[in-house]
Amino acid sequence: MFAKLQKIDDKVLNNISKLHRPALNLVMKTASRSANVGIIWWLICLPFVIRPEWRATGINFVIALAFSHVMGEGLIKHTVKRIRPCHSLADEEQIINRPRFYSFPSGHTTASFAMVGVALLRCRPITCVGIFLLAALISFSRIYLRVHYLTDVLAGVVLGTTCGMLSVLFCHAIGL
């Protein structure tokens, strides 16, 4: 089964690499970098935490990001230890620097979809759509840049959304 999944992952990477163009490379690098250490998500949390009427949602976003980080980066990634696809590429094929840590699940995607999970349950539809579109762009950029496989990203979607939704349950349980 894992061999079959790897074959699909390789085929997806190969097909997406055919899309590479200088302008699109720049878009994808920018999207990916915006989520390095969760920068874009922490910036999005700020107005939610600052405005009193949105504060509970802002705190929920922060809890979701922390929970997803512990689960993805702290536990799963260092248990699975999957090597990234970029480690089999020549230097001239790289669009961004090779990340140092393991591949599964995608941390950028996990954090992004933790935000989606909270937004789905706590925000207006227009906010959900914006957060979802940004999360989807960031997630796709990780495959496009060949630092993650499709299955890394799909696992990040499931893990992040689950962490976001569980954090909403936790926040409701403690009265937020």
pLDDT band at 120 (very low <50, low <70, confident <90, very high): very high
pLDDT band at 88 (very low <50, low <70, confident <90, very high): confident
pLDDT band at 87 (very low <50, low <70, confident <90, very high): confident
Q: Report how many domains make up the chain.
A: 1
Assess if residue 41 is contained within a domain. Answer: no
Residue 164 neighbours by CB under 8 Å, 6+ apart:
64, 68, 113, 114, 115, 116, 117, 118, 119, 120, 121
Assess if residue 50 is contained within a domain. Answer: no
What digits encode the pLDDT tens for the residues 124-167? 999 999 999 999 999 999 999 999 999 999 999 999 999 999 99
Q: CATH code at 122? A: 1.20.144.10
Which is nearest to 104 in space by CA: 158, 36, 62?
A: 158
